Structure 1
Amino acid sequence: MPEKIRVSIGTAALLGLDRCWLDVKPTTAYLMTYTEGSCIANCAFCPQARGSSSRKSLLSRVLWPVFPTGKVLEGLRLRAEGAFSRICIQTINYPGFLDDILSILSAIKEATELPVSLDAPPLERGELEMLRDAGLDRISIPLDAATPELFDRVKGRLARGPYIWEGHLKALRSAVDVFGAGRVMSNLIVGLGETERDAVELIQRLMDIGIRTVLFAFTPIPGTMLAGRPQPPLDAYRRVQLARHLITEGLARFEEMAFNEEGRLRSFGADEETIQRVLRSGEAFRTSGCPGCNRPYYNERPSGPLYNYPRRLTREEAHREAMRMGLRMNE
């Protein structure tokens, strides 16, 4: 069992490990493996990357302080089931990370009955089976980029990283075989240079093999290779969110959608009644991920603008987001 573990600052507050003001409480307990060294990967957007000069207490813009593992487990035992609906373990890539995950997972299962998810680098089928047999509920293996070319640039050879696009896809297919369709996710970061068409096409491709896409907005972090890159336009992100929701809910398909010459969405492939129902609910614009995941302010400041709403939208907010995309929401 590793002696230390990182905990997102919001999770730490709800477990009684730290004190901070929370505008929106996390509905999942977010943990991250701890190592004295760096991640062996070199993802261009990540503070944990091998070549990053960012603070290692960061993942995206969230602070992850270090605590004794035993203290965190005690907090989970006493408070988790009243505060959270799920536990999510993030792991960076380092020698022995799988052994750490297995021991942490075993200890969590003894402390609480909450379901546990994992966000991890590509794993072999036998390793995935070990995790399933140890009680892991769901897994995400993040592609992050929408195309093989972008993947190579931000995670692979051109980023001096160890990853290969096809290797990730192979691991994702194996994960579906092991965990089942709908229980495997892959992260997609919007704003790395893809078109809206690129993003939506990948969302459909993954959905067709049983993988749900988890959307993130690119967030520039000082000290990373992409620190100078701006966040994506909010209207573009909203269109991809809406398309993702329609695809994952079986309400439309990529092939039924229309794009302009620049790859911008101009038709969502669903009838007006369906579009109106989705817009009024606001669900498309909330944080995507495992059931119970809201990741408050992972991609934005609390003051906004919000890329992923960590709570239900008000009617006024839903109307504003529809207008942002040039869509009219009927009363």
Structure 2
Amino acid sequence: MHWRRLKAEILAHGGARPEGVPDRWRDRSTAGPGARGPGSYFFATDAGRVRVAVNPDSPLSLKVADDGTAVITGPDMQVKGWLEKVALHCPRQAYITLSEGCIFGCRYCAVPSGPGRYKTADDVETLVRTVLDRIDAISITSGVLGSVAADEARALVVVERVMQFGIPVGVSIYPTRETPRRLHDLGVAEVKFNVETATADLFAEMCPGLEYELIWEVLRESVALFGRNRVFSNVILGLGETDDEMAACIRRLTEMGVIPVIRPLTPAAGVAHLPRPGADRILHIADIQEEALAQAGLDPSQARTMCSACTGCDLVPGVDL
């Protein structure tokens, strides 16, 4: 079985049941697909990497030897590899969430239920220094604790501080119209502003209070500033969109010069009742994405920061073969 299919199956099952895995390998996230969950492991082979969430109900099992070599076993599957050590949130990056809460209530997101703490520039500098010898990038993301403008201002202070380390910095925050220019002026390498859903109607349902067209406007401005292969946008697969709707969203992004990050749904919060997308659908949408990226001359393998550099949570065309 090719890696592409194996990874799609692991994502579709929502991870695996760890059996005797030492806790030192486990990462626990305050944002993203695993926010507030039981944690995850990063499993790798020579072909690629996948984030394996802890899922007691999965038909897949994860077993690990003392030296970190690992095997994932399940129906018609046995894949050998190893676990990767996490720097901060993922391997080879300091991927830091500034706010552990959010005033918005996106239905698919567990972050708003968090404690509402905010990391200062001093906090972030300290964290980065603890992993500086094993990272290639710094990535900054955040919920919105106060106002969008106030949280942008706090994030800019953090970004300015971490630029001292001389490695690529990527940023993904909820933007104002001025956010791309301000981040570009600070020397940020890449940005990710998330359209989240394949259609405007789904966005209105899933993300009340947020502005769908603002995200598109900001993405367009970002490509002009940062260039092609340096601007990204998450789109969640499995919120009720059709394949045609997802394909149209992917093509709208790629035609603008934006690389879509197609994130299979993790059922949680207000969408806990929805099923995960199956492996066949994940593969089908990845094929559509791959064709759209090729037509637009875009290449996710060029990513230096954030999700497309990690590849753990998504099937990435040009990387996962």
TM-score tier, shorter chain, comes to 0.5 to 0.7
| Matching residue of 1:292 | 309
* Residues 1:86 and 2:137 aligned together: yes
Instruction: Report 1:170-181 matches (<5 A).
Output: 170-181=217-228
The alpha-carbon deviation at position 67 of structure 1 amounts to 7.0
Q: Deviations over 1:181-212 (max 9, x none)?
A: 33211111000011122112211111111111
Distance (Å, rounded) in 2 between the aligned partners of 1:88 and 1:151? 25
Code of the residue aligned with 1:114 in structure 2: it is: I
| Matching residue of 1:229 | 274
Q: Deviations over 1:250-301 (max 9, x none)?
A: 3899xxxxxxxxxxxxxxxxxxxxxxxxxxxxx99xxx9665323x4x5xxx
| Matching residue of 1:44 | 107
Q: Residue 139 of structure 2 contacts residue 306 of structure 2 at CA under 8 Å; is this kept in 1?
A: no
Distance (Å, rounded) in 1 between the aligned partners of 2:121 and 2:109? 24
Gaps of 5+ in 1: 1-7, 12-19, 58-64, 156-160, 254-282, 299-306, 319-331
**C-alpha spacing 1:118/1:228, structure 2 compared with 1 (3 Å):** same
The alpha-carbon deviation at position 239 of structure 1 amounts to 1.1
Q: Residue 236 of structure 2 contacts residue 265 of structure 2 at CA under 8 Å; is this kept in 1?
A: yes
Distance (Å, rounded) in 1 between the aligned partners of 2:297 and 2:257? 16
The alpha-carbon deviation at position 154 of structure 1 amounts to 0.7
Q: Which of the two has higher C-alpha Rg?
A: 1
Distance (Å, rounded) in 1 between the aligned partners of 2:210 and 2:124? 32
Distance (Å, rounded) in 2 between the aligned partners of 1:289 and 1:78? 19
| Matching residue of 2:247 | 200
**C-alpha spacing 1:72/1:131, structure 2 compared with 1 (3 Å):** closer
The alpha-carbon deviation at position 165 of structure 1 amounts to 2.1
* Residues 1:102 and 2:165 aligned together: no
Instruction: Report 1:1-331 matches (<5 A).
Output: 9=28, 23-25=83-85, 26-34=91-99, 38-49=101-112, 54-56=113-115, 70=122, 72-77=124-129, 79-80=131-132, 82-94=133-145, 95=147, 96-110=150-164, 112-124=165-177, 126-155=178-207, 161-221=208-268, 224-250=269-295, 292-294=309-311, 296=312, 298=313, 308=315
Q: Residue 47 of structure 1 contacts residue 56 of structure 1 at CA under 8 Å; is this kept in 2?
A: no
Q: Deviations over 1:220-276 (max 9, x none)?
A: 12xx211221211121011111221232133899xxxxxxxxxxxxxxxxxxxxxxx
Q: Residue 96 of structure 2 contacts residue 124 of structure 2 at CA under 8 Å; is this kept in 1?
A: no
Distance (Å, rounded) in 1 between the aligned partners of 2:41 and 2:249? 38
Q: Residue 214 of structure 1 contacts residue 289 of structure 1 at CA under 8 Å; is this kept in 2?
A: no
The alpha-carbon deviation at position 178 of structure 1 amounts to 2.5
The alpha-carbon deviation at position 69 of structure 1 amounts to 5.3
Distance (Å, rounded) in 1 between the aligned partners of 2:120 and 2:152? 19
Distance (Å, rounded) in 2 between the aligned partners of 1:73 and 1:248? 36
Q: Greater strand share, 1 or 2?
A: 2
| SS of alignment partner, residue 215 of structure 2 | helix
Q: Deviations over 1:80-118 (max 9, x none)?
A: 2x32222111111232111111111111112x1111111
Code of the residue aligned with 1:115 in structure 2: it is: P
Q: Residue 118 of structure 1 contacts residue 139 of structure 1 at CA under 8 Å; is this kept in 2?
A: yes
Code of the residue aligned with 1:24 in structure 2: it is: E
The alpha-carbon deviation at position 71 of structure 1 amounts to 5.2
CA RMSD of aligned residues (A): 3.3
Distance (Å, rounded) in 2 between the aligned partners of 1:21 and 1:140? 24
The alpha-carbon deviation at position 39 of structure 1 amounts to 1.6
Distance (Å, rounded) in 2 between the aligned partners of 1:97 and 1:292? 25
Distance (Å, rounded) in 1 between the aligned partners of 2:211 and 2:123? 37
Number of residues of Structure 1 aligned to a counterpart in Structure 2 = 232
| Matching residue of 1:323 | none
